[in-house]
Amino acid sequence: MKIGLTGGIGSGKTTAAKVFESLHIPVFYADDVSKSILDSDPKIIEQLSIKFGKELYADGQLNRALLAQKVFQDKEAIGYLNSLVHPAVAKAFADWHAEQKAPYVLQEAAILFETGSYQKFDAMILVTAPEELRIKRVMHRNGWSREEVLGRMKNQWGDEKKIELANYLVNNDENQMLVPQILKIHENIISRANQSG
């Protein structure tokens, strides 16, 4: 089974993914794979350089800050970037998935609902946390200003909308323990996998 694991920026989806990994569930980190594709895929590098200018890869390395500057306030630009990266990530996931032996696998990614990719999964796990806590976490982790965090959040759906589409919820508000919630989800998915298998 293919399970999507998502959550807004700062929700703690990577922390949740690490707990699943400790249960021997393979996790595909889509954001890491997309970063490596942006750094290494010659076709994508060429197309981005044409679209956004040669200075994007001036020293042979992607200038991430410059790319973020160019796309994050521009819906058309972000759409173009996603149209290049998402198919490449989807192919990498399909290749990786074919090699896995576990009863289910996870793909951890930030915008599975926003892009419609969630429809390709057997179930979706959503990690949620209060907005203020998420803002604090990202400011602390990335050294960003509050405005930068809010700018990123604007490109993601609010939790209310995602909750309607999610099969499982993990509340990462620092009041509820993460591991027991994940164990319960894990057991439920295993029993579903056994039934369908």
With a threshold of 0.85, does the pTM exceed it?
yes
Q: What is the pLDDT of residue 111?
A: 87
Which residue, 123, 87, 85, is CA-closest to 4? Answer: 123
Instruction: Locate CATH 3.40.50.300 in the chain.
Output: 1-26+103-197
Which residue, 87, 77, 3, is CA-closest to 37? Answer: 87
Q: What is the DSSP string of 122-135?
A: SEEEEEE--HHHHH
Q: Is the pLDDT of residue 192 over 90?
A: yes
Indicate the CATH number for domain 1-26+103-197.
Answer: 3.40.50.300
55: tokens are 């200075």
Mean pLDDT of the chain: 93
71: tokens are 């796309």
Q: What is the DSSP letter of 157?
A: -
Q: What is the pLDDT of residue 126?
A: 98
Q: What is the pLDDT of residue 190?
A: 96
Q: What is the pLDDT of residue 68?
A: 87
Percent of the chain with pLDDT over 70: 99
Which residue, 142, 152, 37, 143, is CA-closest to 86? Answer: 37
